[in-house]
Amino acid sequence: MKFKLGVIGAGNMANAIINGILSSKFISAENIAVTDIDENKLIAFKEKGLFVKCNSNSEIANNSEYLLFAIKPQIFNSIINEFNNCQAKNLISIMAGITIEKLRTGTGIKSVCRIMPNTPCMKNEGMSALCFENYSKESENFVKNIFEKLGKTLITNENKLDAVTSVSGSGPAYVFEFAKAMIEGGTDGNLSEEESKLLTLQTIKGAVKMLESFQGNIDNLTEAVCSKGGTTIQAINYFREKNLNNIIREGMKLCKKRSEQLSKI
């Protein structure tokens, strides 16, 4: 094989993965190949010393030991015929909803790894769930090492990936929505947007640190911030009255359901 890793797609997640690999020197630039239908997306990769070729899926697939699909599932369905009996030994996919069975049937590759990463991988603070099928231990470690450069990893089963999507895959958007509401709530109280953003983001960071080291019921942490007749309990009581917990969980169910639907397209 000419390349250790071939990448189909040059979007944001492909950028995050490749940048993590290069910054850690896990794979050298000349051993990575990338293709995309948009030639402009390949310019930055070419400048870093990678082999790039526009709209050349079969060439990349047939000359890479590990083949990474970093495209939208809808695109894969339209180009699947280009990968019949490709020569790559190991397949990696970060496409939501495209099952291991469909990947194996479409490409002829028996060793398949499905991964659900999230966008904080772009800041090396990502969460990636990995599911392996017919991978050797050496190959499992290779893929795991790539995604550990981008944050934390969890080895799981394919039947849990839809739930993973609803938690970590889509979760950053939930946090962004909550942070936006907090920032706007601060400006409603006469803070500047800059002041409110600083207060909000540091508060979220601090709360996450407390959660990471806490072993008990999360309700106990909430109650520790509240005092009877105080300020915090006013907001918490309102959230509970409006059933914020249920709103979030129902939204996550819809997210999971959509992930399940994508696997049937």
pLDDT (0 to 100) of residue 162: 93
pLDDT (0 to 100) of residue 78: 87
According to DSSP, the residues that pair with 115 across neighbouring strands are 130
pLDDT (0 to 100) of residue 70: 95
pLDDT (0 to 100) of residue 262: 81
Question: Does the pLDDT at position 264 exceed 90?
Answer: no
Residue 100: CATH number of its domain = 3.40.50.720
- Chain mean pLDDT for the chain: 94
Q: Is residue 155 domain-shared with residue 186, that is, in the same domain?
A: no
Work out the average pLDDT over 16-24.
90
Question: Does the pLDDT at position 133 exceed 90?
Answer: yes
CA atoms in the 13 A half-sphere facing the CB of 62: 9
User: Per-residue pLDDT tens for 159-217?
Assistant: 999 999 999 999 999 999 999 999 999 999 999 999 999 999 999 999 999 999 999 99
pLDDT (0 to 100) of residue 52: 92
Residue 180: CATH number of its domain = 1.10.3730.10
User: Per-residue pLDDT tens for 231-262?
Assistant: 999 999 999 999 999 999 999 999 999 988 88
| Single residue among 99, 132, 164 that ends a domain in this structure | 164
pLDDT (0 to 100) of residue 81: 87
Q: Is residue 153 domain-shared with residue 30, that is, in the same domain?
A: yes
50 is in which domain, residue-wise?
Answer: 3-164
pLDDT (0 to 100) of residue 263: 79
pLDDT (0 to 100) of residue 61: 93
Total count of domains within the chain: 2
Question: Does the pLDDT at position 265 exceed 80?
Answer: no
Q: Is residue 176 domain-shared with residue 152, that is, in the same domain?
A: no
